Amino acid sequence: MLLFCPTCGNLLLVEESANCLRFSCGTCPYISNISRVVKSRNYPKLKEVDAVMGGSAAWENVDSTDAVCPACNHGRAYFMQMQTRSADEPMTTFYKCCNALCAHNWRD
């Protein structure tokens, strides 16, 4: 959590004094003792694989091939290839199970 100086607006620093921790401004003489635990956590929401690859519309006009699904052992899967690394690296192949009840995604 970032706190700013109410006097000059600069970022407050945490420093240790003789008996407690305190916020201090590096620009002006503002000092405020810390009287309680100040903490907060913000976890970013991770993107799902489909959202990164273009959602369900990306799978509309793709071909299928013989590939065994690791989730349900179905023998067919849709596939598409994307360049995910630098140009001198091979393309990554993404698969989606043809079994409508499974629809598991994986990559090769």
**How far is Cα 70 from Cα 107, in angstroms, rounded to an integer?**
11
With a threshold of 0.75, does the pTM exceed it?
A: no
Same domain for 68 and 98?
Answer: yes
pLDDT at 26 over 70: yes
Backbone angles phi, psi at 13, to 5 degrees: -105, 150
Reported as a single tens digit per residue, the pLDDT across 72-105 is 999 999 999 988 889 999 999 999 999 989 989 9
Same domain for 26 and 55?
Answer: no
Same domain for 4 and 32?
Answer: yes
- Band of residue 68 on the pLDDT scale cut at 50, 70, 90: very high
- What's the average model confidence in pLDDT over 36-64? 78
pLDDT at 63 over 90: yes
Output helix, strand, coil percentages for the chain, rounded to the nearest 5. Answer: 10, 30, 60
Domain with 68 in it: 49-107
Mean pLDDT over all residues of the chain? 88
